[in-house]
Amino acid sequence: MRAGAGVVALGLGLGAAGCDAVDAGRSGEPAARTGALVRVDVSYTHEAGSPATAIRYDAQAHFARFRPAGATRVPTLLGLSHAADEALPLGGCRVADPTVELDSALASRAPDPVQVTLLDAGRLEVRGAPLVATHVPELVPFVSGVVYGVAEGGSRAPALQLGQPYGVTAAGADEIGPLAAAVTAPRAWPAIVVAPTLRRGADLEVRWATEPAAVSAAPTTEALVEVRWTTPTGSRAVHCRTADDGVHVVPQALLGSLRPGATAEVAISRVARAPLVAPGLGRGELVLSLRDVATTLITDEQSPTP
């Protein structure tokens, strides 16, 4: 995708986060007053310049019930702001201020404040590797329950095998029944290419290695481009969703707060997804991302060709 045109002022929507209205189930609440988020994220991250084998694995899972009135705030409260990127149109971008977004999500909204309950799905594994369930009495205000993630200090990680299925299974518990889903990993790593310096006021061109020629059994993939940097008042980010064609240009108009001497982190993620159903809660998604990260220094001089 050549241009990142079409800046979108985007709220964090339900569809982007794998949310769905569900029956009351075992919650006792009327169905009309109950919303749900079902999502498992699996990611592999590599930093440009590091050995090809230096890949960091991460995974997290959320099974949440909440009142629909607070639905747009739930992804941010759970640290899933990236879910909003998936609602962007192809070629669309959004500018994010993480601090402002979190402050807005935490703000009290009487008379119906958001209350998020994270449910227990029992033992949960990604391709045979268990995730750790942590009981959090109050993750942030309005959020409590069970959070799944990789153990501190690392845990047994499933090896990255391109083009292979990654299954997720959960034994189920009182409020969520047993579940199983699988997603096929992308067939190639999105090796990123970014100029080592970027002239202030110029567009940022991001290139990456494309997948092999499509075959009938190939998974459908997309690419997410992210640029992050710090400012004297906090941090900023630009998020773009693009076709996985090996090139995307972030318009300079979206990078206005970059200053000479600053360093920007640029990431490209190749994404594959599959539906995931949590019995007793609702429908959502299993998302697997391959993420390559590089940095560029902002200058007042012309950038060399990558």
Per-residue pLDDT of the chain (306 residues; tens, 9 = 90+): 444 433 333 333 333 344 444 333 444 443 345 789 999 999 999 999 899 889 999 999 999 998 776 677 777 777 776 777 877 888 899 988 776 666 676 676 655 667 888 999 999 999 999 999 998 876 566 788 999 999 876 567 899 999 999 999 999 999 999 999 999 999 999 999 999 999 988 999 999 999 876 443 444 578 999 999 987 777 889 999 999 999 999 999 999 878 888 899 999 999 999 999 999 999 999 999 999 999 999 998 654 555
The 10 Å Cβ neighbour count of residue 237 is 20
| Residue 86 · residue 19 · CB < 8 Å | no
Q: Would residue 257 count as lying in a domain?
A: yes
Q: Would residue 7 count as lying in a domain?
A: no
The neighbouring-strand residues paired with 112 are: none
Give residue 38's domain range. 15-299
Q: Considering the entire predicted model, what is its pTM?
A: 0.82
Give the pLDDT confidence score for residue 35 in this predicted structure. 87
Residue listed under structure tokens 């299954």:
167
User: Is-cis flag, bond preceding 111, omega within 30?
Assistant: yes
Would you give the DSSP letter of residue 144? E
Q: Would residue 1 count as lying in a domain?
A: no
What's the domain count of the chain?
1
Distance CA 287, CA 224 (A): 13
First to last CA, the chain: 18
Torsion of CA 60, 61, 67, 73, to 10 degrees: 20
Q: Would residue 305 count as lying in a domain?
A: no
Q: Would residue 246 count as lying in a domain?
A: yes
Distance CA 179, CA 227 (A): 35
Burial class (CB in 10 A: 0-12, 13-18, 19+), 144: middle
Q: Would residue 2 count as lying in a domain?
A: no
Give the pLDDT confidence score for residue 178 in this predicted structure. 97
Report CA torsion sign: 202, 231, 96, 86. positive
Give the pLDDT confidence score for residue 69 in this predicted structure. 65
Longest dimension (CA), the chain: 63
Q: Would residue 10 count as lying in a domain?
A: no
Closest CA to 46 of 306, 296, 241, 294: 294
